[in-house]
Amino acid sequence: MSVTNILLIFIIITIAVIIIRQYINMKQKAEVVQEIDVDDQTYTLDKMIEYIKRRLDEITKINLYDIGLSEEELIRRKNKKYELKKALKGCTYGDVNDKKYVKELIYDLLSKEYGVNEINVSKAIPFDVPSILTPQDKFDIILYVYKKEYGYEALTEIIKKYDLATLKYLEGETKPCYVITDEEIEEIYDKENIVLSFADKLSIVVQRIYQKYKGYSSIDEVRDMNIDGVSGGVSGLPESFLSQVAQTDGGDYLTQVQEHKVQRACDSIWIFFQGKSIRLAFLSFGTEAELKRVCQNIYKYNNPGQLSDTNGYKINEMKDGSRVVVVRPSMSETWAFFVRKFDVKRATLEQWTGETPGKDEAIELLKYLVKGARITSITGEQGCGKTTLLMGMIENIYETMNLRITETAFELHLRKVYPTRNILSMRETDTIAGQECLDVQKKTDGAVNIIGEVATDPVASWMIQSAQVASKFTLFTHHAKTFPDLVTALRNSMLRAGVFRNERTAEEQVVQVLNFDIHLARDFRGKRYIERVTECIPVKRVDEYTDNYRKEKTLEGKFDYFFDNATEYFRKITDAKLFEYRNILEYIDGEYVITNSITPGNIKEMRLNMDESDAVEFDKFVEEHWGKANVFNPTEYKNEKKREARGGKKLTKRLATEQ
């Protein structure tokens, strides 16, 4: 081979190596941020949000096979890419761990690639000039500082420390309301005298970027707090209404809107805190489009389907177990959402009743109703604590009993609290009806059936079915105001569901099933309490009118019975009451008071369902509050049964003789 050929081959190989290296470098540059052109807008929030969106998009879409990585590096980078994709998806469902991962990545990108430092970080949020900080900026700073110390109790600590959950009069208003104003936030910020490090400032900026990119806008951190719930879009004027007013009233009205003198739907953020609905006047989504974005993202855990104009609403749960309801036009006048949180770890009867006088007697009574396997309803208005009290009562169910739960949306999440117990929850889906869930549950060796909320006619019929045949006892919640209303509502639901056609028969089934009702209430200051515990007492259909008959011999020579006034008899039989009710416990002048005695029949049944130690304690409870005469006596009960048996035999013999 000539020198020329060798030289030519060498040149070709050299050129090929250079081309390959340039190709690899070009691919690697796809990962590396281009040099930042710094100007006055570079370190504003909007520019940083654009940068973060672009970088995360590049990281998740890059083809790792084209950049010449070693096998070990390729596997590592693939795992990181998969983890980021998973976190970006999970953080929109309310997963705090995924949210933390994404925020840490944003923090690294800003500090290591974008060049954010102690000087330019204040261009995003003016930390060094408190006078130009907005109320939202100040709130974010306060909440961040408190969260470092108190975790998810931060908002609760702020509200309690500065007594923010109190009725107050706003300027120009004649009635008090629960609201936290801009002025209160600014006053708190001044009192706290907060000093932030660079890491703190950048963390606050990262949170602001995250909530506009992947989070839930202004409510993102508020939603994570241990409060009862948060909602948006439920007050203020819808965008469509504003445009109509602008056409008639002209520019003055638009000026008022721009100066936030007129409340818009996108300015509406409310929290539900310890039974009180409090408006956060200092927070806003900013635009109708931002409120719409939050509504479209907040319900999507487990892919419940598309929220469209055709269906108009969605009910679902979030990753942390919160219940979320979203509505949209044209079903509602504006986009709105309702997130309801249930703190299952703190749901105990002691925590629910607080320091109310007489709480010990009330707690004892509720425990005995559960241990005595009584079919019990928990009624009351929305937000009075029905689900939380139900969770507290479940704690006292014997561990030998298997729990089966039927819910519209998973809310109780009992396995989080009792991971070692036999618990299974089911819910209705688009393809599986609730009746099918109940039929399956009947075959799953359940002892206690719990129905999260009896809010529709089919669910009411499920409750009656399960209470009659499917389990040892049943617990459920309902929105009835009084005990007769509860019976009537359940009866009407049975009729509408087609289970019964006769009102009297349907009502008989309800009162025979239902043992007790626990009615909860919430006063105008948000205090929750047990208003009453009511016992249902079915009235038997045998009454005194059956004695008004005469015995005569028929033409066939047999004896038969004839009533003197059959019309009057049947009228009174038809109009007879099917049930009575009496309050066992009442809330009187701020105190729980034990009143009437439980009927002997229920006392007997409750005692028979308890273990020996609880039965002894229950006897003491009955004797202390209603006297020794009401204590169940097993010996006397056996003798009574024998007398009834002997009496039945004598009656059968006498009737046979008469015939």
Going along the chain from its start, the domains and CATH numbers come out as: 3-113 (no CATH), 121-344 (3.30.450.90), 352-539+577-595 (3.40.50.300)
Q: Supply the pLDDT for residue 542.
A: 45
Tokens 């070709």 correspond to 12
Give the containing element (helix H, strand E) for 420: none
- Taking the CA atoms of residue 205, residue 320, residue 216 and residue 304 in that order, the dihedral angle to the nearest 10 degrees is 150
Can you point out the beta strands (E) in 91-184? 167-168, 177-180
Confidence of residue 456 (pLDDT cuts 50, 70, 90): confident
Report strand pairing: 336-340 vs 313-317.
unpaired
Tens digit of each residue's pLDDT (9 = 90 or more) over 641-650? 666 666 655 5
Q: By C-alpha distance, which of 586, 548, 592 is closest to 568?
A: 548
User: Cα–Cα distances in Å, from 649 out to 365, 550, 654?
Assistant: 39, 23, 9
Has residue 550 got a pLDDT over 60? no
Has residue 612 got a pLDDT over 70? yes
| In contact, 145 and 193? CB cutoff 8 Å | no
285 vs 306: CA distance, rounded Å: 23
| In contact, 178 and 167? CB cutoff 8 Å | yes
| In contact, 31 and 59? CB cutoff 8 Å | yes
Confidence of residue 279 (pLDDT cuts 50, 70, 90): very high
Which residues lie below 8 Å from residue 227, measured CB to CB, with a gap of 6+? 155, 156, 271, 272, 273, 341
Has residue 33 got a pLDDT over 50? no
Other residues' Cβ atoms within 10 Å of the Cβ of residue 505: 14
Give the orientation angle of helix 612-626 with respect to helix 600-608, to 10 degrees. Answer: 160
Other residues' Cβ atoms within 10 Å of the Cβ of residue 532: 22
Six-digit token pair at 187?
């006053």
Q: Supply the pLDDT for residue 348.
A: 81
CA angle 345-348-349, nearest 5°? 170
Confidence of residue 370 (pLDDT cuts 50, 70, 90): very high
Least confident window among 36-40, 192-196, 452-456, 588-592: 36-40
Q: Using only C-alpha atoms, what is the Rg of the chain? A: 34
Confidence of residue 496 (pLDDT cuts 50, 70, 90): confident
Q: Supply the pLDDT for residue 558.
A: 58
- The 3-state secondary structure of 517-546 reads EEEEEECCCCCEEEEEEEEEEECCCCCHHH
Q: Which amino acid is at 542?
A: V
Has residue 272 got a pLDDT over 80? yes
Tens digit of each residue's pLDDT (9 = 90 or more) over 310-355? 889 998 888 888 889 999 988 888 999 999 887 655 578 888 888 8
Q: Supply the pLDDT for residue 2.
A: 67
Least confident window among 45-59, 207-221, 513-527, 638-652: 638-652
Burial 64-100 (b: 16+ CB within 10 A, else e): beebebeeeeeeebeeeeeebeebbebbbbbbeebbe
Q: Is 562 exposed, middle or buried (0-12, 13-18, 19+ CB in 10 A)?
A: exposed
Average pLDDT over residues 200-217: 93
Average pLDDT over residues 123-142: 92
413 vs 405: CA distance, rounded Å: 10
Q: Supply the pLDDT for residue 387.
A: 84
Q: Supply the pLDDT for residue 242.
A: 64
Average pLDDT over residues 281-303: 91
Has residue 404 got a pLDDT over 50? yes
Has residue 583 got a pLDDT over 90? yes
Q: Supply the pLDDT for residue 655.
A: 47
Has residue 482 got a pLDDT over 60? yes
32 vs 42: CA distance, rounded Å: 18
| In contact, 312 and 330? CB cutoff 8 Å | yes
